[in-house]
Chains A and B, each alone.
Chain A
Amino acid sequence: MQYIPNILFVIALVAGIGYFIKNIRKVIRNIRLGKDVDRSDDKAARFKNMAMIALGQSKMVRRPIAGILHIVVYIGFIIINIEVLEIIIDGIFGTHRIFSFLGPLYDFLIGSFEILAFLVFVGVILFWTRRNVIKLKRFWNPEMKGWPKNDGNLILYFEMVLMTLFLVMNAADLQLQELGSGHYISAGSYPISQFISPLFEGMSEGSLILLERGAWWLHILGILVFLNYLYFSKHLHILLAFPNTYYGDLKPKGQLDNLEAVTKEVMLMMDPNADPFAAPAEDQAEEGEPEKFGASDVMDLNWAQLLNAYTCTECGRCTSECPANQTGKKLSPRKIMMDTRDRLKEVGDNIDKNGSFVDDGKQLLNDYISTEELWACTSCNACVEACPVSISPLSIIMDMRRYLVMEESAAPTDLNNMMSNIENNGAPWPFNQMDRVNWSKE
């Protein structure tokens, strides 16, 4: 009987971590549905980006209030998780405060965890206030209705509860230490929970133990639940920000990739020696279906773009900097990322259900992202510059425009005119190429 808590603990731990791993493997599988893109160059620059942007939060602090609050919560959360290590060992072996032999160092650690927990608590309250009381505009865009809004708040509640449980656990422990109860050895320092502890004064030893154990169990179960919540939430960014900043695009922001499939065709057309009939046939024999230009669904995007979608924190910095969005256009770069992720999940669920993807009559284009959104973009890169985790909504917009124009010939009329001008006169306006130097004589 004595080992029941240990056994229950191990079961909870294995189930919690197991389910999490199962879902992470799904994320990886879904990201791999994307096309290949080479991001293996310049590892030094990539590590530097990851260290600066993900670990160092360099882009978060561009908005100082949100940035500093975020750093507090982020550092607090990471460091407090060292405590989880002790909890896990205690849980498995039925020990209590196994690291207390560290003496003064232990006091220092527990003391710091408490202060950080308190700061995290305050930070989270301020975050909640910004979202719900001050109602910062970027948290109230149309795409933030329903689940995304609740998700943002749920995360904050989770953290409040976890921090409270941690402090209550310590406060009860402190009371028990003072009572000299059983294995509640005197260890640790409690700069914050010492103020909570008096609330429990006069409680019986039994109730105190119940309180302490209750908080301990809820705390660790809460962490396991939170871990598994990540998969369903924008909070996945706490993990994916690292690979995403590592694999981010290193090219100048203005540089759009040149489609290789198009290059092949263009070179063929320009080559006077090429046999226009023989070559395509040969190509097709090699590659089967001719390559589709641009993207109408998530599988047409590359894996880095899909990783972007899973990493998006829905912070809306991109949207709040977007000139189209600021002037009332439907386009919101955050929505582009959220739609991509939602569609990718839908495709993933489809694969889970059917073994492989079965056409569901839907796609990213139109069913999620409208052409009106796509045609509102000025390609200004403000969204890319603003994103704290190196996401490029612009690259998805451009790939979808490519599909519209090259596969569907569905450009707005004005743009079709512009393009036929370029084709015929070598300029976007209907001027004669022979008049190109007339300006020098005017």
Chain B
Amino acid sequence: MAKFETPLLDDLEKGPWPSFVTDIKRQAKTKPELEDLLGQLELSYKDKETHWKHGGIVGVFGYGGGVIGRYSDMPEKFPGVAHFHTVRVNQPSGLYYSSAYLRQIMEMWERRGSGLTNMHGSTGDMVLLGTQTDQLEEIFWELTHDMNTDLGGSGGNLRTPSCCLGMSRCEYACIDAQNICHDMTQTYQDELHRPAFPYKFKIKVSGCPNDCVAAIARSDFAIIGTWRDDIRIDQAAVQGYVKGELTPNAGAHSGRDWGKFDIVKEVINLCPTKCMSWDGNALKIDNKECTRCMHCINVMPRALRPGVEKGCSILCGAKAPILEGQRLATLIVPFMKMEPPYDECKELLNKVLDWWMEHGKNRERIGELIGRVGMREFLKAAELKAIPQMVKEPRSNPYIFWEEADVPGGWERDLAAFRKKHPL
């Protein structure tokens, strides 16, 4: 017998999509606090308002992040969720797991928490939802001692870096996204656990410009794989696509009849730089003009592959609209080789972080700081040379803040000599 009637939630047990209500109800049989969670959630469905409050910082000793405090605003009615804190667990790069490892975490979470999780939070962490303050140190102990696993980040610090699955199972990967992500996470442990930043800072790594982890939209420091030589072409396979022997788009469009594959219409004409040509026999690419958008490769993966001189582009400053408006990350380094231990990349990141820590206002993301003081200051701090690849177009106003050193003769002038020429 359920503790609370949940007619509104029960409606969400119908339909083909997996139902979280059905799932939580089953788990509630052994984790009675979830009865209270369902009761409170049903009340929110009735009231159309949340019943959680924040109020109070919780965490594990010595860490400034990784735990988010959460309290019910109706603790008498729903005592099982009076305290219902979140623990963020740092995910392994690429989100592969062995069942032995996950079972260990699940066993711990059933014992010390609610038995409810998010697989995964939007930053990438495994999110364990719902425990009490007195369990936090115990959980941290078991994670670190028995599972060799650490907490992730929250608050004004480095957030848990994340990546796509990269070279492990994707032929497009131009960099080892998982290794870079893991290495960066380990290098910046202090920044991850001990808030010293004006606000959050995210690093995301995608293996190619398809950008499956949304690095360009969601990270302060986006590392996106690319190449700088020629797309590799297998002309026989191109013929295979043209003759209909191979399935274009790796089958991604096969649910509708789009007609016979037409290489001119679907590839040559859609190439954004119009750098491809097809004479009926051979596909040619003017690689110097290619901007590596991935379209042709996505359409004909068996015929085209990224080049062999691989590395990454680095973009900086993406964020959601709050507060100074949304930003996509902007290009700061067109190409960098990425070999362990990634020193060049880390040196750049350190310069960027130092500058932001010195000049960023409270709750100012790095993209907003760049917006406030300008790329010029940013490039100076990052010791990067301005190049045309950094802009869509040059400025359309001439209001340049010239510096004295840039102007012949400086700003000091001889008044007497001036007045001799121009009497008052």
Q: Do A and B bind each other?
A: no
A contact set with B: CB distance below 8 Å: none
B contact set with A: CB distance below 8 Å: none
